[in-house]
Amino acid sequence: MKVLISFIIFFTFLWSNNFRNNDFTSYHQEIKNTTQGFDMQPIPEGKFLFGSPENEANRDVNEGPQKEVNISAFWMSKYEVTWDLYLIYQNRELEIDPNLAIDAVSRPTKPYVEMSFGQGKNGGFPVCNVTQYAARSFCKWLYQKTGIFYRLPTEAEWEYAARAGTNSAWYFGDDEQQLRDHAWYYVNSDGAYKKVGEKKPNPWGLYDMYGNVAEWTSDEFVRDWHDELLNGVKDPKVVPERLYPHTIKGGHWDDDADRLRSAARTGSTPKLKQMDPQIPRSDWWLTNAPFLGFRLVRPVLQPDKNEIEAYFAPPPKDN
């Protein structure tokens, strides 16, 4: 049986790479032995001005200077990852046939409290209060289940996808009054996140890129990173070498409009675990981040085995 399962996974991996790379379109990824799946949108290769111009209202100095960046093609999940899907990873017994479950990936520890803090879990609410390590481990579980490498976006990929070919503060322009049609934030959220996909998408078919929950990227947060970038660089990233800070993008349901701009960026801090009673504090849960979730990326060019293993390695310890 184990040999058969391994063969099926390997065949799925080859088929998916060959088919998808020749057919760069949106697709639905099913998760074997479950009733869940997720939708992926194609993001074409291209170049863009990374960061904000000096005359953009409410910009932070760490958003510039702008640099022209080249980005390879990838797929990005149409919606933020939901509790419906994440809880299958967390609670393997929710799988249709537990005997076929793949248990090579660690699951999150039991939460200390109800981690949505009453905002809702069933029916399409975005997952929240998860560490970046938890998000990466979820991606590792997807890799085990599908044979396809999914990961968090880099900061540059995230901003490129959010802008969707635009240069304004938000993909729809610079008029803050239009934001309520595209995002859940302080003005209209009533103090909680909402189900994914209820606002207008951006031009590349991505929902909730602004607001609802803020989103993890793969990168370490470097405040003066734009100073170090060279014009024309391809697929820039900052591989984390410490536990804090990691870059967060998009703003959330309790943020003001300026924090939802495409170029806005912030870094994680230990305060996101301020109420964590565990010693040492959990690798999995953030008891003070009911506003922080994530979405998925699949690169068109799949990395080799060593790169994948490095990506899924345990988190660095703070130094």
Radius of gyration over alpha carbons of the chain, in Å? 19
Residue 14: predicted pLDDT = 42
Location of structure tokens 């990395």: 303
- Whole-number Cα distances in Å, 65 to 36, 246, 251: 42, 20, 21
Asked whether residue 319 is domain-assigned, the answer is no
CA-nearest of 79, 82, 96 to 207 is: 79
Q: Are 260 and 247 in contact (CB under 8 A)?
A: no
Residue 280: predicted pLDDT = 83
* Alpha carbon 96 to chain centroid, angstroms: 26
Find the CATH number of the domain harbouring 202: 3.90.1580.10
Strand pairing class (265-267; 233-234): unpaired
Asked whether residue 235 is domain-assigned, the answer is yes
Q: Which DSSP symbol is given to 256?
A: -
Q: Are 316 and 242 in contact (CB under 8 A)?
A: yes
Alpha helices of the chain — where are they, by DSSP H? 2-22, 83-90, 132-146, 155-163, 225-228, 305-311
Number of domains in the chain: 1
CA-nearest of 225, 227, 245 to 237 is: 225
Strand pairing class (67-71; 27-30): unpaired
User: What is the token pair recorded at 272?
Assistant: 């996101």
Asked whether residue 318 is domain-assigned, the answer is no
Asked whether residue 316 is domain-assigned, the answer is no
Residue 99: predicted pLDDT = 57
Residue 94: predicted pLDDT = 65
The model carries a pTM of: 0.90
Residue 2: predicted pLDDT = 43
Residue 101: predicted pLDDT = 54
Q: Give the range of the structural domain holding residue 228, as residue numbers without chain letter.
A: 2-311
Asked whether residue 219 is domain-assigned, the answer is yes
Q: What string of pLDDT tens digits covers the 319 residues of the chain?
A: 444 444 434 444 444 444 444 589 999 999 988 999 999 999 999 999 999 999 999 999 999 999 999 999 999 999 999 999 999 999 876 666 655 555 568 889 989 899 999 999 999 999 999 999 999 999 999 999 999 999 999 999 999 999 999 999 999 999 999 999 999 999 999 999 999 999 999 999 999 999 999 999 999 999 999 999 999 999 999 999 888 999 999 999 999 999 999 999 999 999 999 988 887 889 999 999 999 999 999 999 999 999 999 999 887 775 3
Residue 279: predicted pLDDT = 79
132: burial class by Cβ within 10 Å (0-12, 13-18, 19+)?
Answer: buried
